[in-house]
Amino acid sequence: MERRKFLKNSSLSAAGLVSAAALTSCNTEPKPINADISTPNPIKPIVVCTWNFFNATNKAWEVLNSGGNALDAVEQGVMVEEADETNETVGKGGRPDRDGNVTLDACIMDKDGNCGSVVCMQNIVHPVSVARKVMEETPHIILAGKGAEKFAYEQGFKKEDLLTESTRKQYEEWLKTSKYETTINIENHDTIGMLAIDENGDIAGACTTSGMAYKVAGRVGDSPIIGAGLFVDNEVGGATATGVGEEVIRTVGSFLIVELMRQGKSPQEACEEGVKRIMKKNEGRKDFQIGFLAINKNGETGGYCVHPGFTYREYSENGHVNREVTSFYE
Ligand code: ASP
């Protein structure tokens, strides 16, 4: 800024020898990356997650508030939902695929850009923790299906039936018609994507889901795909998604949002642009929901969705709140 003022003033003092065009070019020199991102008083620690997951954010806040790091906070936070059998799109109690198998997807990403992911994994309640083991104990990023499950047992995870009384009954009911739709109910998604900043100002994120109910066996959505369902860049911020994963993957949604923030957009503006990019590829289509959530390095948050109904939960020193977000369609 000072340099720009200096250039402008010295140009003016050159007795009008400089054209207006040259002045303009002095004023539009490229902004340094992150120019608008850091402020003297960032909000930290802070945690946000998709939907109104009170218990999960409480758990993450507990970790952050006692000086824990963002990575532990997001892992332990989303584990609450993975263990909650009444949440029928995450972990134990998640709805099965069309063959009756519960297959889970999850990923995790830390401040250094390290990440781990498991896709289409059965019989393990906490895929996010297996994803963390992939990140920390292997040279790989993604493990799939049987390989991921075998790795989990090697790491000491226990085998458990993920189908519950309730999801078994619902599946049997579904079998009567076997109606397969790739669309997701507009009001009811429970995939949890969580982003946290710890007291050191470091960012981490996690995302975990059982994916679309009655999906084709082997289907993997956006949630465990780094860049699509989750992305973190410690210089800029993080983003995560819920909704029809295929559409999020097509625009590499979370990466796009983080990059938009890097270019100076607020989390809110970046999420809006993310949804607009998706809608551009789906002109006039109204039968699906996507919700994006983002946080920047300052602890500013934002969210946007296709249809009304998406909310995100936020917990910081300022208290906790369930934020309703604006939407593409009214
Ligand atoms: N994004 C998840 C998927 O496509 C589903 C959801 O968020 O409801 O697998």
User: Which residue has better confidence, 189 or 161?
Assistant: 161
37 pLDDT more than 80: no
Closest CA to 122 of 142, 107, 101: 101
Expressed in angstroms and rounded, the spacing between residue 307 Cα and the centre of ligand 1 is 15
- Please tell me if the CB atom of residue 219 comes closer than 6 angstroms to any atom of ligand 1: no
β partners of residue 143? 118
pLDDT at 14: 34
Per-residue burial over 216-251, b if 16 or more Cβ lie within 10 Å, else e, is: eeebbbbbbbbbbbbbbbbebbbbbbbbbbebbbeb
pLDDT at 69: 98
- Please tell me if the CB atom of residue 224 comes closer than 6 angstroms to any atom of ligand 1: no
pLDDT at 189: 61
* pLDDT bracket for residue 137 (50, 70, 90): very high
Expressed in angstroms and rounded, the spacing between residue 210 Cα and the centre of ligand 1 is 8
* pLDDT bracket for residue 41 (50, 70, 90): confident
Q: Which phi and psi (to 5°) does residue 125 adopt?
A: -70, -30
Catalytic site residue from 103, 167, 191, 251: 191
pLDDT in tens, 244-273: 999 999 999 999 999 999 999 999 999 999
- Please tell me if the CB atom of residue 271 comes closer than 6 angstroms to any atom of ligand 1: no
β partners of residue 314? 48, 321
* pLDDT bracket for residue 18 (50, 70, 90): very low
Q: What is the C-alpha separation between 248 and 271, in angstroms, rounded? A: 12
pLDDT at 190: 76
CA angle 50–193–241, rounded 5-degree value: 80
pLDDT in tens, 267-326: 999 999 999 999 999 999 999 999 999 999 999 999 999 999 999 999 999 999 999 999
Please compute the mean of the pLDDT values over residues 184-202 and round it to a whole number: 82
Residue 191 annotated in active site: yes
The pair of structure tokens assigned to 196 is: 């946290």
User: Which residue has better confidence, 134 or 39?
Assistant: 134
103 pLDDT more than 60: yes
33 pLDDT more than 80: no
User: Which residue has better confidence, 40 or 216?
Assistant: 216
Pocket probe for ligand 1: among 183, 188, 212, the residue whose CB has the most ligand atoms within 8 Å is 212
Please compute the mean of the pLDDT values over residues 32-40 and round it to a whole number: 50
Please compute the mean of the pLDDT values over residues 139-145 and round it to a whole number: 98
pLDDT at 188: 53
20 pLDDT more than 90: no
Q: What is the C-alpha separation between 284 and 261, in angstroms, rounded? A: 27
2 pLDDT more than 60: no
pLDDT in tens, 64-93: 999 999 999 999 999 999 999 999 999 999
Please compute the mean of the pLDDT values over residues 182-207 and round it to a whole number: 83
pLDDT at 185: 52
pLDDT at 15: 32
pLDDT at 39: 61
- Please tell me if the CB atom of residue 89 comes closer than 6 angstroms to any atom of ligand 1: yes
163 pLDDT more than 60: yes
pLDDT at 180: 67
For residue 45, is the peptide bond before it cis, meaning its omega torsion is within 30 degrees of 0? yes
Closest CA to 242 of 256, 258, 254: 254
